[in-house]
């Protein structure tokens, strides 16, 4: 029997699904790591939710797995949290726990991690959207699932609630070993939370790989234009109190980011959008831009009729720059050139 | 005479309440799976099933009573089997009245339940399944408690509708004191014999009873919805 989710010895999860609907066809056969968060990124209608529903057993696909959803041990966090209105928060999060044969997750830890201690005796209709989503996530985790599916858990929240919930998702990433698939159409969320990335288009996985590597590829239309950008893991080492800036080391040198980040917390993940990077042939001295990095042009790819996406290498990290075709031609940019990248804006993702 | 009137007021009312209670219990037990199936299925037989369930709303009680009389009679399909099993006839008996009332009040139990089940978010059930609940488990742990108002509505409507039935009872049950003489029949009887005083007493009693039951339902409903 082929299993929909099978943890193989080399620590990957194998996903194999096929679904045919009128006007839509899903056909997926891919392996993802058995740890960390895998982003499933694609436009609406690309089949993200259909794939999750197949994995959870909510859709009768053409695989041979006949197990019903309750037999699969796969947790599903819906876009709209589905709490049971007749039960208080405590009973909601214990619903799956009571039904799991091998509870492995510490209830107290999950309650603390998601900040639910003061909500336990509340009823779901008194919770904000963000709180309800945290309760739903706790309920799913307490079931000790083999795999957690998250279907755009932030999409129904406004920006303030999103910002409120994101740090909790960071903690899940750092503190839990259960593999997760995180569906999103926001490259920002994906680059913040994920370690591995699947790109889905028209029901097919068009590319998959480690996040940093995927983001540095120039041949993926889904990751070009405004979605293009790179992610660099850097280590904060010094906080400048006067200007409220933190200096961070990465493989190619130093990046300065606004705000205070402690070196004890480990590395920070920095996202640099390609449109925020410009290229100079010589080191600019009179610029307001803080971050100027020496780099080598690694590859170029036209991105639309008027722009060129340039991949730069600095140390072992990649940096993408979106420049106009005119500038690229005027500066005669080509592979192997030693240049300076001006980074206008760096976002600390976590 | 007064004592006799007192007896003859309360015996039919008691019988009516008894009939309505038994019918309600049977209808909740049988109507729930029917309503659940109707609310979840996309079968092509669904419209036909819905039509059959709704028919008692449209048909004159005499039509239902007539067919039930044939079906439940000693020569009918169900009636002859009943005679074989128990040795007594279904028609003109309390058991026969329960069967007839269940048919007659079926839509009043099924429809509130069905609409309550249909208003459950599909994803909530899916969430319950992925949280380890089998379909049956999710039904009892999630669908039933979340449809509490549907159950109250179904019970009250089935009860009230059974209490108020006349034509079907008359045709299937006749008018046997203590066995099939329910309050609506008793009132009709008193009016026929121009005994308006007794008719007044019974009618008023039924009127007040109906008001109290419905009032109680709406109070419970309101409490539930504002919780």
**How do residues A225-251 score in pLDDT, each as one tens digit?**
888 999 999 999 999 999 999 999 999
Q: Do B130 and A85 touch (CB under 8 A)?
A: no
The answer on A51 and A199 residing in a single domain is yes
Residues A33 and A108 in one domain: yes
Residue B224 has what pLDDT?
A: 67
Q: DSSP state, A263?
A: G
Let me know whether A148 and A95 are in one domain. yes
- For residue B137, which phi and psi values (nearest 5 degrees)? -60, -45
Query: Residue B51, class by beta-carbon neighbours within 10 Å (0-12 exposed, 13-18 middle, 19+ buried)?
Result: exposed
- Whichever domain contains A198, its CATH number is 3.40.50.300
CA distance B36 to B149: 15
Helices B196-226, B2-40: crossing angle, 10 deg rounding:
40
- A69 vs B contacts (CB less than 8 Å): 126, 129-130
Q: Please give the distance of CA B65 from its chain centroid, rounded to a whole number.
A: 15
Encode pLDDT of B111-122 as tens digits.
999 999 999 999
Structure tokens at B188: 């009709």
Tokens describing residue B157: 């409507």
A160 and A287 in a common domain: no
Report the CATH number that the domain containing residue A247 is assigned in CATH.
2.40.50.100
Q: Average pLDDT, whole number, for chain A?
A: 90
pLDDT digits (tens, 9 = 90+) for A253-292: 999 999 998 877 678 899 999 999 999 999 988 889 999 9
For B146, which of A76, A85, A139 is closest by C-beta distance? A85
Do A140 and B135 lie within an 8 Å CB cutoff?
no
Whether residue A180 sits in one domain with residue A237: no
Considering Cα of B20, then B23, then B25, then B31, what sign does the dihedral take? negative
pLDDT of residue A7: 53
Give how far A16 is from chain B: nearest CA, Å.
19
A309 shares a domain with A177: no
Domain end point (choices A190, A215, A240):
A215
Chain B residue numbers with beta carbons less than 8 Å from the beta carbon of A84 are 124, 128, 142, 146
Q: In the structure, what pLDDT confidence band is assigned to residue A2 with cuts at 50, 70 and 90?
A: very low
Q: Measured between CB atoms, which of A56, A86, A143 is closest to B146?
A: A86
pLDDT of residue B1: 38
- Tokens 């599903």, residue located: A76
Residues on chain B touching A102 (C-beta within 8 angstroms): none
Q: Is residue A40 part of a domain?
A: yes
Cα–Cα separations (whole angstroms), residue A20 to A149, A199, A316, B109, B134: 21, 20, 43, 39, 26
**Paired sense of beta strands A147-151 and A180-184, if any:** parallel
Alpha-carbon distance of B184 to B205, in angstroms, equals 11
To 10 degrees, the CA torsion angle through A242, A243, A248, A252? Answer: -120
A58 located within any domain: yes
Residues in B closer than 8 angstroms to A99, CB to CB, are 131-133, 137
Q: How far apart are CA A239 and CA A246, in angstroms?
A: 4
Q: Is the pLDDT of residue B22 over 90?
A: yes
Inspect the interface and report whether the beta carbons of B126 and A76 lie closer than 8 Å: yes
Q: Mark whether A37 and A154 lie in a shared domain.
A: yes
Q: Is the pLDDT of residue A16 over 80?
A: yes
Tens of pLDDT along A117-145? 999 999 999 999 999 999 999 999 999 89
Candidates B123, B133, B134; nearest CB to A78: B123
- Which 3 state secondary structure label does DSSP give B137? helix
Four-residue CA torsion sign, B152, B153, B155, B159: positive
- Write down which residue in A185, A215, A245 finishes a domain: A215
A222 domain-assigned: no
Does the pLDDT value for residue A4 go beyond 70?
Answer: no
- Which of A215, A248, A272 is the endpoint of a domain? A215
pLDDT at B222 over 90: no
Angstrom distances, CA of residue B45 to CA of B51, B52, B109? 10, 11, 20
The mean per-residue pLDDT over the stretch B129-152 comes to: 95
8 Å CB contact of A99 and B124: no
Do the domain assignments include residue A221?
no
CA distances (Å), origin A186, targets A149, A189, A194, A214: 16, 5, 12, 15
Return the DSSP state at B139.
I
For residue A223, tell me if it sits in a domain. no
User: Which three-class secondary structure state does DSSP give residue A108?
Assistant: helix
- For A168-192, write each residue's pLDDT tens digit: 888 888 788 889 999 998 888 898 8
Cβ–Cβ below 8 Å for A69 and B126:
yes
Q: Is B20 left (phi over 0), alpha (psi -120 to 50) or beta?
A: alpha
Distance, CA of A75 to CA of A169 (rounded, Å): 15
- Across the interface, whether the CB atoms of B130 and A99 are under 8 A apart is answered no
Determine the distance from the C-alpha atom of residue A337 to the mean position of all C-alpha atoms in its chain, rounded to a whole number: 32
Interatomic CA distance for residues A296 and A315, integer angstroms: 9
Residue A327 lies in a domain: yes
A1 assigned to some structural domain: no
* Beta pairing partners, A17: A28
Residue A95 with chain B: CB contacts under 8 Å: 128, 131, 133, 141
In this prediction, residues A102-120 reach a mean pLDDT of: 88
Nearest CB to B133; choose among A56, A70, A80: A70
| Domains of chain B (ranges, CATH numbers) | 2-57+90-226 (1.10.3720.10)
Using a pLDDT cut of 70, give the percent of chain A over it: 97
Whether A75 and A121 map to the same domain: the answer is: yes
pLDDT at position A208 over 90: yes
Q: What is the rounded CA–CA span in Å between residue B63 and residue B44?
A: 28
Phi/psi region, residue B178 (left: phi>0; alpha: psi -120 to 50; beta: rest), is left
Contact B13, B212 (CB under 8 A): no
| pLDDT surpasses 70 at B225 | no
Average pLDDT over residues A4-24: 76
Residues A258, A193: one domain?
no
Could you give the 3-state DSSP secondary structure of residue A79? coil
How many domains is chain A built from? Answer: 2
CA distance B129 to B40: 15
In terms of domains, do A251 and A330 share one? yes
Closest CB from A80, A85, A95 relative to B131: A95
- Chain A interface, best mutation among B126, B131, B138, B144, by max A CB count within 10 A: B131
Crossing angle of helices B61-72 and B94-118, in 10° steps, is 120
* A45 found inside a domain: yes
Q: How close A279 comes to chain B (CA, Å)?
A: 50
Cβ distance of B141 and A95 shorter than 8 Å: yes
Across B75-104, b (16+ Cβ under 10 Å) vs e yields ebeebbebbeeeeebbbbbbbbbbbbbbbb
What range does the domain containing A171 cover?
6-215
Residue A222 has pLDDT above 80, yes or no: yes
Residue B70 has a pLDDT of 93
Residue in A closest to B142 by C-alpha: A84
Chain A residues with a Cβ under 8 Å from any Cβ in chain B: 56-58, 68-70, 72, 74-76, 78, 80, 82, 84-86, 95-96, 99-100, 136, 139-140, 143
Place of tokens 């730069």: A312
Write down the mean pLDDT value for chain B: 90
A13 and A160, same domain (yes or no):
yes
Which tokens belong to A88? 């208080």
Confidence of residue B138 (pLDDT cuts 50, 70, 90): very high
From A102's Cα to the closest Cα of chain B, the distance in A is: 12
> How far off is chain B from A90, nearest CA to CA, in Å?
15
Count of CB atoms situated within 10 Å of the CB of A226: 10
Q: Between residues B223 and B58, which one has the greater pLDDT?
A: B58
Res A3 pLDDT > 50: no
| Rounded CA separation B174/A4 (Å) | 64
Q: How far is A91 from chain B (nearest CA, A)?
A: 11
Which chain B positions have a beta carbon within 8 Å of A126's beta carbon? none
CA distance A294 to A60: 53
Check whether A339 has a pLDDT greater than 90: yes
Whether A196 and A245 share a structural domain = no
> So what's the pLDDT on residue A160?
85
Query: Which of B116, B125, B132 best probes binding to A when mutated, by most A CB atoms within 10 angstroms?
Result: B132
Residue B18: band (very low, low, confident or very high) from pLDDT cuts 50, 70, 90: very high
Rounded to two decimals, the pTM is 0.85
């Amino acid at each position: 029997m082929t299993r929909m989710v099978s943890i193989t010895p080399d620590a990957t999860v194998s996903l194999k699904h096929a679904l045919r609907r009128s006007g839509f066809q899903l056909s997926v056969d891919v392996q993802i790591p058995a740890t960390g968060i895998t982003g499933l990124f694609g436009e609406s209608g690309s089949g993200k939710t259909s794939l999750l529903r197949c994995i959870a057993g909510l859709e009768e696909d053409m695989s041979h797995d006949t197990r019903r959803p309750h037999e699969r041990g796969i947790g599903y966090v819906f876009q709209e949290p589905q709490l049971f209105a007749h039960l208080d928060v405590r009973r909601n999060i214990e619903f799956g726990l009571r039904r799991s044969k091998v509870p492995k997750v510490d209830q107290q830890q999950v309650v603390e991690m998601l900040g639910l201690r003061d909500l336990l005796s509340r009823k779901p209709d008194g919770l904000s959207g963000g709180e309800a989503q945290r309760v739903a996530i706790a309920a799913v985790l307490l079931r000790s699932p083999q795999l957690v599916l998250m279907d755009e858990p932030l999409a129904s929240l406004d920006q303030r609630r999103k910002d409120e919930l994101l740090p909790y998702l960071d903690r899940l990433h750092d503190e839990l070993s259960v593999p997760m698939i995180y569906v999103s159409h926001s490259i920002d969320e994906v680059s913040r939370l994920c370690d591995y990335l699947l790109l889905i288009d028209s029901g097919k996985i068009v590319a998959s790989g480690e996040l940093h590597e995927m983001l540095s590829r120039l041949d993926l239309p889904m990751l070009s234009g405004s979605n293009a950008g790179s992610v660099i893991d850097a280590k904060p080492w010094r906080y400048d109190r006067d200007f409220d800036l933190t200096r961070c080391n990465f493989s190619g040198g130093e990046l300065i980011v606004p705000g205070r980040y402690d070196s004890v917390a480990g590395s920070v993940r920095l996202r640099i959008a390609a449109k925020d990077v410009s290229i100079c042939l010589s080191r600019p001295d009179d610029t307001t831009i803080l971050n100027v990095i020496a780099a080598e042009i690694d590859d170029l790819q036209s991105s639309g009729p008027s722009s060129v996406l340039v991949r730069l290498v600095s140390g072992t990290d990649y940096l993408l720059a979106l420049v106009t075709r005119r500038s690229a031609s005027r500066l005669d940019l080509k592979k192997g050139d030693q240049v300076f990248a001006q980074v206008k804006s760096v976002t600390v993702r976590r | 005479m007064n004592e006799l009137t007192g007896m003859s007021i309360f015996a039919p009312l008691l019988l009516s309440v008894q009939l309505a209670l038994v019918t309600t219990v049977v209808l909740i037990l049988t109507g729930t799976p029917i309503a659940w199936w109707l609310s979840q299925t996309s079968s092509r037989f669904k419209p036909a099933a819905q039509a059959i369930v709704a028919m008692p709303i449209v048909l004159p009680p005499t039509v239902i009573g007539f067919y039930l009389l044939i079906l439940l009679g000693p020569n009918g399909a169900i009636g002859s089997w009943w005679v074989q099993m128990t040795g007594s006839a279904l028609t003109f008996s309390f058991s026969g009245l329960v069967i007839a009332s269940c048919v007659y009040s079926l839509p009043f139990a099924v429809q509130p339940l069905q609409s309550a089940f249909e208003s459950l978010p599909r994803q909530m059930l899916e969430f319950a399944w992925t949280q380890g609940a089998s379909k049956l488990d999710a039904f009892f742990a999630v669908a039933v408690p979340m449809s509490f108002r549907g159950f109250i509505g179904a019970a009250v409507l089935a009860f009230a509708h059974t209490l108020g039935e006349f034509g079907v009872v008359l045709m299937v049950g006749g008018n046997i004191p203590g066995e099939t003489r329910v309050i609506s029949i008793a009132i009709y009887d008193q009016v026929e014999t121009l005994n308006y005083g007794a008719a007044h007493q019974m009618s008023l009693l039924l009127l007040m009873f109906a008001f109290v039951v419905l009032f109680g339902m709406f109070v419970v409903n309101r409490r539930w919805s504002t919780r």
